[in-house]
Amino acid sequence: MAVRGAWPTAALSFGGDYNPEQWPEQVWAEDMTLMAEAGVNLVTVGVFAWCRYEPSDGQFEFGWLDRLLDLLHENGIRVDLGTPTAAVPMWLHRRHPEILPQDEFGHPLAPGGRLGWCPSSPVFRRYALRVVEKLAAHVARHPAVAMWHVSNELGGGNARCHCAVSGDAFRRWVQQRYTSVEAVNEAWGMAFWGNSYSSFAEIVTPGGRTAHNPGHLLDFERFSSDALFDHYRAEKRLLKELTPDLPVTTNFMVGLGPDVVDYARWAPEMDIVANDHYTYGPDPLRHQALAFSGDRMRGISDGGPWMLMEHAAGAASWHSINLAKPPGELLRHGLAHLGRGSNSVMYFQWRASKSGTEQFHSAMLPHAGRDTRIFRAITQLGRHLTRLAEIKDTRVAGVQVALLHDNEAGWALRSGLKPVRELGYADTARAIHRALFDRTVTVDVLPAWADLTGYALVVVPGLFLVSDANANRIARYAEVGGTVLVTWNSGIVDEHNTVRTGGYPGAFRQLIGASSEEFFPLETGRQVGLDNGWRARRWSELVRAHDAEVVASYAGSGLDGVPAVTRRPLAGGGAAWYLSTDLDEGSLDELLGRLLDDTGVTPVTTASPGVEAVRRTAGQRSYLFLINHTDAEGSAAGRGVDLLTAERHDGTVVLPPGTVAVLREE
Ligand code: GAL
């Protein structure tokens, strides 16, 4: 089970960040009325309230918080209490300017904003733990407090610090990992350009204007993630001492990846794995990006339930043009997160701020107030969540396809010079996820070290870095009957970011029975054909199939007749496929169609294009989420009662443009 401790609300959780410190207390009463109207049952408070609790060094005041917690409790609203360490009080900046994180050129961040602290600073840690301890001791028995929210989006601003303290901490980290300086030289390949170290003291954080070795860059990312994780664990330890029964979490930013810190490796330390997800308005496939993040969230939370901690009710405010959400999207996105395994729909934030950096970020309650389309949509969603109460103990289950994802692979890919600069780590993962999403095939996006038992198909998309242990686990899965699709740019380097020699994709060469000796990246806009009619772009390789069938070869490019897609049948009944190029959408869909047929993977249901379908179950009970993301009428096969409308459907569900249905299936 993914959740340790009690879920904070009896029903599905609904609410958001609540920042009443920005408003006079008279406004709070109106907040309570409107929260009741909307059906809010959980709010995150105090995330940025350090200066409220500790207005000057060592002077603590919790009267404000007490009044707020009492009020929320009287109104039946549970509290996800933030530890306030994301926002350093100005007096602390003044007293200890050295806590500010420094960028790669050694420039400190300015005071103000948030996360203005070096993750390795013992000075900051001391002050942070002091306020956390006072706060936790103060609220320990308050009945409104249901869980802890440590800091905010750790790493969102202070992820890579190059100050002197971080430099020392990095050297200690490296020494601990490698023990000898010779081992560091070997791991990072410091012989290149004669950069070898003769002592640990020579090692610096990889900042400034020079070309650092990829192994060095990768380890700095690991170190930086570990430094922030250490901070999380220090706060968590304290919270567990003082309030052992309250679940502790922090809000992740799981999207396509690579992430700012290594969430999959952090997740086991979360009592509830929580995520903030913001879509990008101009992306026409933003709903599929949302699904990808939800599928990743399940993948790092043992199948969930996970918690959607934040998303936007309308426009964001950090894009260059912040598009409003079109009609119905608020509901579609909320339900899509639920469909993918969240047991909450939470927002940033309850009431739109009138000042501050994010004064134009949307909120559940807009500047214009209650009589607005956003607030009406919020109250409608609140009512829907009540109707959906019975799904709370269900899970997205029976998923037959796994897709592997590892931040370290993404970090490795972006370090140093690569054959093609602008490859996004998750490009191939997203393209394959999309093809499966369009076929209503649910995918678990799993860490590269996950147990693959039971999956019919495992996709290894551009897993640039892979350790021997993970590569072996994948190979074993295939040898005992599994089917694996390995794509280009996988298995290229080991955990030190060192190329695996002898032919690409080094770690999977043997498994796929093929290898390539040279990359042939394609110019932007250029397409090449394959001899079965498929089209490809961006990438090709000089592949040799030594123990595999050739499914398709390059045709009409400099690589005519060279295998492009291969398949190695395996004794256990499975197969290992290799895709050496970036197929266009239609061709990729055909390839996946063949793989699904071969492996017997079935879709969730049949649905018209643009209709998302996903299922949650518990025992004999089963719920089908259908979301029409298009402007046209859609339909899907389904039988049962729509919990949202109480309407029965006996085979076909018609979904008017942009609408949703959740069937209790028979
Ligand atoms: C999140 C953050 C919130 C708010 C929101 C909207 O990343 O946790 O505090 O800033 O984005 O921009």
DSSP assignments along 601-618, one per residue: ---S--B-TTEEEEEEEE
Distance CA 287, CA 285 (A): 5
Q: Which CATH superfamily is 611-665 part of? A: Golgi alpha-mannosidase II (2.60.40.1180)
pLDDT beyond 60 at 241: yes
pLDDT beyond 70 at 115: yes
Tell which residue, 309, 324, 308, 307, has the closest CA to residue 361: 324
**Which 3 state secondary structure label does DSSP give 369?**
coil
Query: pLDDT value at position 168?
Result: 98
pLDDT beyond 80 at 25: yes
Displacement of CA 153 from its chain's centroid (Å): 12
Kindly report the protein residue whose alpha carbon is nearest to atom 4 of ligand 1: 348
When the pLDDT of each residue in the chain is averaged and rounded to a whole number, the result is: 97
Tell which residue, 489, 494, 522, 483, has the closest CA to residue 505: 489
Query: pLDDT value at position 398?
Result: 87
H/E run at residue 493: none
Distance CA 208, CA 211 (A): 9
Q: Give the pLDDT mean for 339-349.
A: 98
H/E run at residue 359: none
Residue of 260, 348, 349 best suited for mutating to test ligand 1, as the one with most atoms within 8 Å of CB: 348
Q: Give the pLDDT mean for 440-450.
A: 98
Tell which residue, 512, 510, 467, 456, has the closest CA to residue 487: 512
Distance CA 316, CA 281 (A): 9
Q: Is the CB of 348 under 6 A from ligand 1?
A: yes
pLDDT beyond 70 at 1: no
Q: What is the pLDDT of residues 476-517, one digit of tens each?
A: 999 999 999 999 999 999 999 999 999 999 999 999 999 999
647: annotated active-site residue: no
Displacement of CA 369 from its chain's centroid (Å): 32
CA angle 311, 3, 264 (to 5 degrees): 65
Residue of 44, 45, 150, 152 best suited for mutating to test ligand 1, as the one with most atoms within 8 Å of CB: 152
Whole-number Å distance, alpha carbon 464 to ligand 1 midpoint, is: 30
Please measure the distance between the N-terminal and C-terminal CA atoms of the chain and give it in whole angstroms.
26
Distance CA 607, CA 626 (A): 9
Distance CA 43, CA 78 (A): 7
Whole-number Å distance, alpha carbon 130 to ligand 1 midpoint, is: 25
How far apart, in Å, are the Cα atoms of 219 and each of 172, 188, 204, 513? 12, 9, 12, 32
Q: Is the CB of 310 under 6 A from ligand 1?
A: yes
Return the DSSP state at 303: T
**Reported confidence tier of residue 556, pLDDT bands at 50, 70, 90:** confident
Both tokens assigned to 179: 């023990």
Q: What is the pLDDT of residues 45-54, one digit of tens each?
A: 999 999 999 9
Q: What is the pLDDT of residues 450-487, one digit of tens each?
A: 999 999 999 999 999 999 999 999 999 999 999 999 99
Q: Give the pLDDT mean for 162-166.
A: 98
For the residues of 531-573, what is the DSSP string, one character each? TTS-EEES--EEEEESSSEEEEEEESSTTTT-EEEEEEE-TTS
Query: pLDDT value at position 379?
Result: 98
Q: What is the pLDDT of residues 565-593, one digit of tens each?
A: 999 999 999 999 999 999 999 999 999 99
Using a pLDDT cut of 70, give the percent of the chain over it.
100
For the residues of 52-121, what is the DSSP string, one character each? HH-SBTTB---HHHHHHHHHHHHTT-EEEEEPSTTS--HHHHHH-GGGS-B-TTSPBPPSSSS--S-TT-
Kindly report the protein residue whose alpha carbon is nearest to atom 3 of ligand 1: 348
Q: Is the CB of 44 under 6 A from ligand 1?
A: no
Query: pLDDT value at position 279?
Result: 98
310: annotated active-site residue: yes
**Nearest ligand 1 atom, CA 251:** 8
Q: What is the pLDDT of residues 81-97, one digit of tens each?
A: 999 999 999 999 999 99
Whole-number Å distance, alpha carbon 404 to ligand 1 midpoint, is: 28
Residues 6+ positions from 291 with CB-CB distance below 8 Å: 336, 340, 433, 437, 612, 614
pLDDT beyond 90 at 600: yes
Kindly report the protein residue whose alpha carbon is nearest to atom 5 of ligand 1: 348
* Backbone torsions φ then ψ of 471, nearest 5 degrees: -65, -40
Q: Is the CB of 157 under 6 A from ligand 1?
A: no
Q: Is the CB of 152 under 6 A from ligand 1?
A: yes
**Reported confidence tier of residue 191, pLDDT bands at 50, 70, 90:** very high
Query: pLDDT value at position 2?
Result: 76
Whole-number Å distance, alpha carbon 45 to ligand 1 midpoint, is: 13
Burial annotation 596-615 (CB, 10 A radius, 16+ → b, else e)? beebebebbbebeebbbbbb
Q: Is the CB of 358 under 6 A from ligand 1?
A: yes
Q: Is the CB of 361 under 6 A from ligand 1?
A: yes
**Half-sphere exposure at residue 453, Cβ-oriented, CA atoms within 13 angstroms:** 1
Whole-number Å distance, alpha carbon 629 to ligand 1 midpoint, is: 25
Both tokens assigned to 169: 């901490």
Whole-number Å distance, alpha carbon 66 to ligand 1 midpoint, is: 25
Distance CA 215, CA 174 (A): 12
Distance CA 95, CA 507 (A): 52
Kindly report the protein residue whose alpha carbon is nearest to atom 11 of ligand 1: 348
Catalytic choice (54, 221, 235, 310): 310
Q: Is the CB of 153 under 6 A from ligand 1?
A: yes
Q: What is the pLDDT of residues 368-412, one digit of tens each?
A: 999 999 999 999 999 999 999 999 999 998 899 999 999 999 999
Q: Is the CB of 54 under 6 A from ligand 1?
A: no
Whole-number Å distance, alpha carbon 8 to ligand 1 midpoint, is: 21
Would you say domain 401-599 falls under CATH 3.40.50.880? Answer: yes
Query: pLDDT value at position 397?
Result: 86
Using a pLDDT cut of 90, give the percent of the chain over it.
98
Catalytic choice (153, 329, 541, 612): 153
Distance CA 359, CA 317 (A): 8
Query: pLDDT value at position 164?
Result: 98
Distance CA 3, CA 303 (A): 10
Residue of 276, 309, 347 best suited for mutating to test ligand 1, as the one with most atoms within 8 Å of CB: 276
Whole-number Å distance, alpha carbon 348 to ligand 1 midpoint, is: 6
Whole-number Å distance, alpha carbon 61 to ligand 1 midpoint, is: 26
From the number of C-beta atoms within 10 Å of its C-beta (0-12, 13-18, 19+), residue 451 rates as exposed
* Backbone torsions φ then ψ of 571, nearest 5 degrees: -55, -35
Residue range(s) of every CATH 2.60.40.1180 domain in the chain? 611-665
Distance CA 182, CA 186 (A): 6
Residues 469 and 447 sit within 8 Å (Cβ to Cβ): no
The predicted model scores a pTM of 0.98
Residue range(s) of every CATH 3.40.50.880 domain in the chain? 401-599
